[in-house]
Structure formats: structure tokens, C-alpha cells
Amino acid sequence: MSRRTLAEMDAELVDCRRCPRLVAWREQVAVEKRAAFRDETYWGRPVPGFGPPDAAMLIVGLAPAAHGGNRTGRMFTGDRSGDVLFAALHAVGLANQATAVSRDDGLALRGVRVTAPVHCAPPDNKPTPTERDTCRRWIDEELRLLAPTLRSVVVLGGFGWQALFPALADAGWAVPRPRPKFGHGAHVVLANGQGQPLDVFGCFHVSQQNTFTGRLTPAMVEAVLADAGRAAGLLG
Ligand code: SF4
């Protein structure tokens, strides 16, 4: 079991080059840029999780967006998905501000960490199964380091749901077989023989595909975050 800190893990993570296709893509995007951001220096590297190392609640997405996290260097920061997520976290009292535009914008999460099972921006937001499995080492270690304080998880979308359960099992939580199915509002409590149980919640991903069509509304996101915040002991 790893004995280093999350900060030490993240310091190694940002230099990871294990997935050739994703390394090439993240760096190509960082050079070509989107016209609206042409004067910015893109991050263009793996994006680490964001939030305190003793978080009681974890939010798990899919992967950084090419012109969001891959530009700013912070998960969900600088894109439309993050606009929805951080506004909802602020609305329920788990973030000090509703917006996230850059790594130095003053945003602070209260007892919450945000991460993803794939840490580099993939083309079309679609990592391959091999890339997901290659990146698994990082979420495995992150979960082990968070385990002493972690009480709830919100998983945004089916990709994160499928990726997370094997890692939760390896980190010591009892995952039922067959594995729980993903759905918005799904809720499963995982026992842990050596520690506290973990409440896992499913939520549709905060992608534009879902939020622009009304499939996922701000109220729906806030409801899941509030449930998870209460399960984690962060909200009354
Ligand atoms: S996706 Fe994960 S494993 Fe692959 S290069 Fe990025 S950080 Fe490394």
C-alpha cells in the first residue's frame, strides 16, 4: 500500500506519459488551441484531482475536457460541464464560489475532492478501454489515500461508474455481484471490513449533451450532491 501523500502522488501524475495516443492529443490541443483561448498557455498535461486530501466526499467524472481541464490544469475548470458542477456545489454549500475559471481563481471545496478515472483529455471525450485500464493505477492510489476519511462518492455518468467499482473493490470496499447498475439517482452502500461504509451515488454526467437538452437540470445535480454531502457528514 502506498504511504506517500496525495500531493506527492499528484506531483508524479502530472508527468505521466503512459498512454501514447492521449499524450499526443493533449499536447496537440495545447499547441493548436481554440481561437477564444489563443493567448493562453494550455496546461497540456495530466490533470490531477482537486480538493482537500482528507475529503469525505469524492466526485468522479470521466476525463478532462480538451479546452477545459487540459487548458486550465484543474478538473472541470474552464468548461461548461464545470460551470454546472461548481454552481451546484456552491448552491448546496460545498464550494465557496459558483464559478471555476482558472487554477488561481480562489475556488475552494469543503470536504469534497473532484477527480476522474482518466487524467488526460481524450479525443471526442472517449478514452479506450486500454487507456482507462492504464490510468487505473492513479484512481487506485487516490482511493487508498482517501479511504480513511471518505464516506460518499458521486459518479457522473456510466463510464466513471464502470471504471470506479473495480477500484473501490481493490481499495477494500465490498462491491456486490452483479455490480450495481448505473442510473441517475442510483444509490448503493458498500461495507468495508476495516473502516466506514461508503455511500455511492449515480448522477448523469454534467456534459452539455445532458444539460443543454434538459435531461439533467441544476436541481437534479444539486439533489444528488446534497444527498452525498449528508451521507458524508458535510451537510446537515
Ligand atoms: S491517461 Fe492516465 S495513465 Fe494515461 S498518460 Fe494520462 S495520466 Fe498517464
Taking CA atoms only, the protein residue closest to ligand 1 atom 8 is 16
Taking CA atoms only, the protein residue closest to ligand 1 atom 3 is 135
What topology is assigned to 6-231 in CATH? Uracil-DNA Glycosylase, subunit E (3.40.470)
> What are the pLDDT tens digits along the chain (236 aa)?
447 999 999 999 999 999 999 999 999 999 999 999 999 999 999 999 999 999 999 999 999 999 999 999 999 999 999 999 999 999 999 999 999 999 999 999 999 999 999 999 999 999 999 999 999 999 999 999 999 999 999 999 999 999 999 999 999 999 999 999 999 999 999 998 777 899 999 999 999 999 999 999 999 999 999 999 999 999 99
Taking CA atoms only, the protein residue closest to ligand 1 atom 2 is 135
Instruction: Judge if the beta carbon of residue 17 lies within 6 A of ligand 1.
Output: yes
* Cα 128 to Cα 8, 69, 83, 122, 142, distances in angstroms: 27, 19, 26, 9, 21
Residues whose CB is less than 8 angstroms from the CB of residue 154 and which lie 6 or more positions away in sequence, other chains included? 57, 58, 59, 60, 201, 202, 203, 224, 225, 228
- Report domain extents, the chain: 6-231
- pTM (global) more than 0.95: yes
- Report the residue among 13, 14, 17, 18 best suited for mutation to probe ligand 1: largest number of ligand atoms under 8 A from its CB: 18
Instruction: Judge if the beta carbon of residue 46 lies within 6 A of ligand 1.
Output: yes
Which residue type does 87 have? A
- Going from the Cα of 43 to the center of ligand 1, the distance in angstroms, rounded, reads 14
Q: Are 146 and 113 in contact (CB under 8 A)?
A: yes
Instruction: Judge if the beta carbon of residue 174 lies within 6 A of ligand 1.
Output: no
- Going from the Cα of 10 to the center of ligand 1, the distance in angstroms, rounded, reads 12
